[in-house]
C-alpha cells in the first residue's frame, strides 16, 4: 500500500479553522440559533420567541455568528432576517441533528 502524502502546514491551518468553528458552536445559545437557522431563514423576533433568549443575549450571540461569518442578514422593512452562510456549519448541524435529535423511528429524542 502506498503512503499518503499530506501537507502538514495545510493540515494545521485546517485544524485551526475547524477548532475555531467548533468553539463558536460550543455555546448553547449559538447552537440553538444555528439549529433554528438550519431549518430556514428567521427574523430576529421569531428567534427570540422560539428560543426564549432575551434580547441582549440574542443580539450578542447573533453578533458573534455574524463576525465569524456563519450567518448573513438581510433587511426587509424594519425586520432583519438571518440565515446560515457557512456550508461547514450547515454540514455539522446536519450531523448533530442526526446524532442528537433523531432516534431510529425518526422522532426527536
pLDDT in tens, 5-45: 678 999 999 999 999 999 999 999 999 999 999 999 999 99
Kindly list the distances between the CA atom of residue 103 and the CA atoms of 20, 31, 33, 82, 107, in Å, as whole numbers in the listed order: 29, 20, 22, 29, 6
Q: What is the mean pLDDT of residues 74-78?
A: 96
Helix axes 55-67, 44-51, angle to 10 degrees: 120
- Residue 108 above 70 pLDDT? no
- Average confidence score pLDDT of the chain: 91
- Residue 68 above 90 pLDDT? yes
- Asked whether the whole model's pTM tops 0.75, one would answer yes
- Residue 56 above 60 pLDDT? yes
Q: Write down all domains in the chain, each with its CATH number in brackets.
A: 28-101 (1.10.10.10)
- 108 or 64, higher pLDDT: 64
Lowest mean pLDDT among 41-45, 80-84, 96-100: 96-100
Q: How confident is the model at residue 3 (pLDDT cuts 50, 70, 90)?
A: low
Amino acid at each position: 500500500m502506498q503512503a499518503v502524502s499530506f501537507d502538514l502546514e495545510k493540515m494545521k491551518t485546517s485544524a485551526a479553522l475547524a477548532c475555531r468553528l467548533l468553539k463558536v458552536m460550543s455555546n448553547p445559545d449559538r447552537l440553538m440559533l444555528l439549529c433554528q437557522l438550519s431549518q430556514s431563514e428567521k427574523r430576529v423576533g421569531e428567534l427570540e420567541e422560539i428560543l426564549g433568549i432575551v434580547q441582549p443575549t440574542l443580539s450578542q450571540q447573533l453578533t458573534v455568528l455574524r463576525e465569524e461569518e456563519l450567518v448573513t442578514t438581510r433587511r426587509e422593512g424594519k425586520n432583519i432576517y438571518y440565515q446560515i452562510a457557512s456550508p461547514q456549519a450547515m454540514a455539522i448541524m446536519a450531523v448533530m441533528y442526526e446524532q442528537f435529535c433523531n432516534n431510529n423511528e425518526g422522532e426527536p429524542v
